[in-house]
A and B are shown apart, each in its own frame.
Chain A
């Protein structure tokens, strides 16, 4: 694919950007909606356009992360990509990659988690791994996906920490849009060769992964936290360096959109930010002081920056594509922590689960409710409450009311598996 401006699929653009970062080992197991990315990379390895690089087909996501760990420990720049159940399947290895301080870069093509099984987008997968020790960066467009992957390798290797680049599955991975691809020369100037902090070398044998008891476990873990907190300084520095080399702003901790004098601010992550910004502009046209704060870095959590951005707002609505059953929002818990003592009123709106579109009409109505102080602490955007009520009714009337998902699909007239 040519350098410069192209109209292409998000996944192909990311594959090109990753290839220009010269990964030496790519291990992958296919899962929608991530598959096109590693397909693109495997094609580049096969043609020799990406060399030297070993593409390892593995038998599972657990193996994918394990191979990445081994490759990284041996001093290779390692990359993989996954989504949804695949991310969950590699959970144990994720914690090891972070705990060992291995600078692996992984794309998460965000997708819902079953059950019920669903291949479409939300943030349940990466949000479930927010405590794994990985840095988590969320992108809002395919241009940002390209740019942030280039930055991610630099960040990971500077800190010796793994980095997840989270991009909305299908909405971004399968969207065709204009993207400026970096040239190899630009990337080479920006991203120096990988110099590992620790390396497994038969000529100079060491062990990595010692058992650590109570005498130092806290300290090793604390170091992981400290490195994450260092990332709060490194991420803006790297974004500034990127702007200098590539001439465009991408990445960083937060994206402020008309927040400076906003009384009401929606906080969100990922691809929904563009739609929110359009709605903000509409409302600003009516002289309503609203804004939008994009969280680009979720781990580490930029608490001071979030507080500075939102501290003057009266109302904050956190729009979340993930649900923590039993409490509600995940991002909002972090926002509330950052805003302690400011008096800002924080509400949570759960939206876009399992690929449900987040429309401008719904967002407008969310803003209207917020502005009129009608929003509950926890709101489910576009929830079909009658569908839930019908199932509750069935459960009340019969102990053997059967599986929820199938019952509810039948109510909708949709086809579900099982007896009809």
Chain B
């Protein structure tokens, strides 16, 4: 079982992202479950969604508390919500940002034993603006997720995007996903390595 938690704000398509991810996994013959968090429903409020992927039927319906992967749609949540809660040392973490990890104040991840190649950023909102014309970063994040984790293929992600968004919108989102995938296929910036390999401190995240 591979469990993903997606953090964002109401209106950013956090739930849609989990749904698309589940469709990608389903299209590859796997079992998948996607569902929203149950809390505030307001636009702009912190929200989370969940996706489970497995080779056998998934029965549990509890929220994902120990994610194998995190997608942070909105980096302003980093100081507001315990987005890293329950994530283990080998978790994949994908953050939508144009800033560096240092600028994001992620030195609190020091000493968590994270694997540098699994903590990545991608400018998904920028990619969306460029390809789609609107700041909707989901498709790019899912493309990035495919490259980062290999849990689903880029083809499956693109298939799910096209099935959900018809015509030009689908194509533009597919292009954003593809570019994010290519970015994430490259090795991480040296600063990530420096951050992760820095001396361990108590983790407060």
Residues of A within 8 A of B (CB): 7, 9, 119-121, 170-171, 174-178, 271-275, 277-278, 355, 357-360
Contact = CB atoms under 8 A, between A and B. Distances in A.
Given A171-B35, A176-B32, A274-B61, 19 more contacts: A7-B23, A119-B41, A120-B38, A170-B36, A170-B38, A174-B35, A174-B36, A176-B18, A176-B22, A177-B22, A177-B33, A177-B34, A178-B31, A272-B61, A274-B58, A277-B59, A355-B38, A357-B63, A360-B62
A216 to B, nearest CB: 47
A277 B61 CA distance: 11
Interface of B: 15, 18-19, 22-23, 26-27, 31-36, 38-39, 41, 57-63, 65
B61 A171 contact: yes
B61 A176 contact: no
A355 B38 CA distance: 6
B35 A176 contact: yes
Nearest to A141: B59
Contact of B65 (A9, A174, A358, A359): A359
Contacts of B34: 175-177
A9 B164 CA distance: 13
Nearest to B27: A7
B31 A275 contact: no
A174 B19 CA distance: 10
Nearest to A278: B60
B38 A175 contact: no
Contacts of A274: 58-61
A275 B60 CA distance: 4
A357 B39 CA distance: 11
A121 B22 contact: no
15 contacts: A7-B26, A9-B19, A170-B35, A171-B61, A174-B15, A176-B34, A177-B58, A272-B61, A274-B58, A275-B62, A278-B59, A355-B38, A357-B38, A357-B62, A357-B63
Contacts of B22: 7, 176-177
B64 to A, nearest CB: 10
A277 B56 CA distance: 14
Contacts of B35: 170-171, 174-176
B28 to A, nearest CB: 11
A158 to B, nearest CB: 31
> Among the interface residues B34, B35, B58, which one has the most CB atoms of the partner chain A within 10 A?
B35
B22 to A, nearest CB: 5
- Which among B15, B39, B62 has the highest number of chain A CB atoms within 10 Å? B62
Contacts of A360: 60, 62
Which of A7, A9, A120, A275 has most chain B Cβ within 10 Å?
A7
Contacts of B18: 176
Contacts of B58: 177, 274
B61 A121 contact: no
Contacts of A7: 22-23, 26-27, 32
Nearest to A171: B61
A385 to B, nearest CB: 22
Nearest to B52: A177
Contacts of B41: 119
Nearest to A414: B40
B118 to A, nearest CB: 25
A313 B47 CA distance: 42
Contact of A358 (B32, B39, B62): B62
A178 B26 contact: yes
Contacts of B62: 275, 357-360
Contact of B32 (A120, A177, A272, A273): A177
Contacts of A275: 59-62
Given A119-B41, A355-B38, A359-B65, A175 B59 contact: no
A119 B39 CA distance: 9
A286 to B, nearest CB: 18
A178 B38 contact: no
A271 B38 contact: no
A171 B65 CA distance: 16
Contacts of B60: 274-275, 278, 360
B57 to A, nearest CB: 8
A176 B19 contact: yes
Nearest to A359: B62
Contacts of B26: 7, 178
A355 B40 CA distance: 11
A355 B60 CA distance: 15
Contacts of B59: 273-275, 277-278
Contacts of A359: 62-63, 65
The 7 closest A-B CB pairs, nearest first, are A274-B59, A7-B26, A355-B38, A176-B34, A175-B35, A359-B62, A176-B19
B171 to A, nearest CB: 22
B36 A271 contact: no
Given A9-B19, A119-B41, A175 B61 contact: yes
A171 B63 CA distance: 10
